[in-house]
Chains A and B, each alone.
Chain A
């Protein structure tokens, strides 16, 4: 679908022209569409449990430990490669979903368990746990609202080279480290100040210093032992193991609408294989997650069954999602106002179009 307004140069900063535009048009802090779900059903879906996340976290740490052991034990031989491939994905990709779900506080029922895993996963994914908590809150308030959402991965017109390079993990890692280093030096950007309350800023700087100290110690150990192994274990997996995080994460919103207040227009649900779903902690049910973020990851498949009469058809596979998203993103390079508008089933309520600026 093409836009109904004049194309304009988008300003994705949080303090620019599109920020003012979003506020003026009612897109900031707007009321979003929600499918009607009976209270008793929703209450049941929202229930928290420790069991699934304890099980998954135990498996996660066990696989991390075993694969690290194998990578070190077979270091210098081809036998080490599969171990590092597994370790890389467990560290550099699974950390993202653990960061995400524990940041919402929905993975475990017990609060401190969410907090502990959130801190560990934040370090692994190279995100400041303070700044990103607030950034992600804004992402949920103003999902893919230009000038408001700090987590828009696919900007328009897209930088296709950069999107491709994302899979190598290098650019994102370099920018993440640069950001943490800047924060450790005591500087927050105007964008960060826009969504982080003043009372939280000293915490953000302190935790950035802790993260940088660990990276410095890792680097020092690598130099002292003249070995790559410390870097393969800490930090490095965020580069060589991030591909799965990017493969699943980039299809959450790419090619879909900006500046709408209906998650069915700007988010994508994709059926995935069980392994990817485990690594991704069911965030493939992304429309469902955005519409009802208090539903824990283990209940998202059930939530999908409750909502699907009101949602566009899910993409049947990761491959299918890319077949849909790639042409759209390439077209957005020529026509930045283009986006995919999926048909709704006959049982669905119409798209909410009262507050849009597509």
Chain B
């Protein structure tokens, strides 16, 4: 597996604060978040419970709620917080560079 590289995602303003967007890259899918203070975060894009894109869910403070079964994760740490999710999400470093969001994958 090659070393992770900073990968361009989108303009910062394409994601509202306290919201999430789907990002597909190189056969993988990610969920890209902006916290209420605007800080970007990134996790795996699919819920660890079943095959559902988290980008359709609701961001509340530090949590993302899956749109299918309402399981919740802390998107900063990937921690599973509420059944039916039991398995944590993988997280990826995210940053803002020249007004764009980048993630390290």
Interface residues of A (CB under 8 A from B): 29, 39-40, 42-43, 46-48, 104-106, 109, 111, 133-134, 137, 140-141, 197, 199-200, 292-294
The answer to whether A294 touches B84 (Cβ under 8 A) is: no
The complex places the Cα of A199 from the Cα of B80 at a distance, in Å, of: 14
Q: Which residues of A contact B72 (CB under 8 A)?
A: 105
CB-based contact A141/B65 at 8 Å: no
Contacts of B69 in A (CB 8 A): 137, 140-141, 293
With A43-B19, A46-B58 as known contacts, state yes or no: A104 contacts B83, CB within 8 Å.
no
Q: Are B70 and A48 in contact (CB-based, < 8 A)?
A: no
Known contacts A46-B58, A294-B67, A111 near B83 by CB under 8 Å? no
Bound complex: CA A104 to CA B83 (Å) = 10
Interface size band for B: 20 to 34
Q: Which residues of B contact A140 (CB under 8 A)?
A: 68-69
Which B residues are in CB contact (< 8 Å) with A48? Answer: 58, 60
Chain A to chain B contacts (Cβ below 8 Å), 7 pairs:
A29-B51, A40-B16, A43-B58, A106-B70, A134-B84, A293-B70, A294-B67
A43 proximity list for chain B (CB < 8 A): 16, 19, 58
Considering only residues 36-84 of chain B, those with a C-beta below 8 Å from chain A are 49-51, 56-58, 60, 65-70, 72, 82-84
A49 to B26, CA, bound (A): 39
List chain B residues, Cβ under 8 A from A133.
83-84
Q: Which residues of B contact A197 (CB under 8 A)?
A: 86
Given contacts A104-B70, A294-B70, 13 further A-B contacts (CB under 8 A): A43-B58, A46-B58, A105-B65, A105-B82, A111-B82, A133-B84, A197-B86, A200-B86, A292-B67, A293-B69, A294-B57, A294-B65, A294-B66
Which residues of chain B are near A42, meaning CB under 8 Å? 56
Residues of B within 8 A of A (CB): 16, 19, 49-51, 56-58, 60, 65-70, 72, 82-84, 86
Q: Which 5 A-B residue pairings sit nearest by Cβ, starting from the closest?
A: A46-B58, A137-B84, A137-B69, A105-B70, A104-B70
| Chain B residues whose CB sits within 8 angstroms of the CB of A134 once the complex forms | 83-84
A87 to B57, CA, bound (A): 37
Secondary structure class of chain A's binding surface, majority of residues: helix
Residues of A within 8 A of B49 (CB): 137
A141 and B70 contacting across the interface, CB-CB below 8 Å:
no
Given the complex of chains A and B, what is the CA–CA distance between A40 and B49 in angstroms? Answer: 26
- B19, closest chain A residue (CB): A43
Contacts of A200 in B (CB 8 A): 83, 86
Query: Could you tell me the distance in whole angstroms from the C-beta of B18 to the nearest C-beta in chain A?
Result: 9
Query: Which residues of chain B are within 8 angstroms of A39 by Cβ–Cβ distance?
Result: 19
Within the complex, what minimum Cβ distance (angstroms) separates A206 from chain B? 15
- Separation of A292 and B65 alpha carbons in the complex (Å): 12
> Complex Cα distance A39/B16, Å?
11
Bound: A137/B47 CA distance, A: 13
Query: A141: which B residues are within 8 A, CB to CB?
Result: 50, 68-69
With A105-B82, A197-B86: A293-B50 Cβ-Cβ less than 8 Å = no
Beta-carbon nearest neighbor of A142 in chain B = B50
Assembly CA distance A46 to B57 (angstroms)? 9
**A104: B residues at CB distance < 8 A:** 70
Residues of A within 8 A of B86 (CB): 197, 199-200
How long is the Cα–Cα vector from A294 to B72 in the complex, in angstroms?
A: 11
Q: How far in angstroms is the closest Cβ of chain B from A141?
A: 6
Q: Which single residue of chain A is at the shortest CB-CB distance from B68?
A: A140
Interface centre among B56, B66, B72 (most CB of A within 10 A): B56
B83 to chain A: which residues have CB within 8 Å? Answer: 133-134, 137, 200
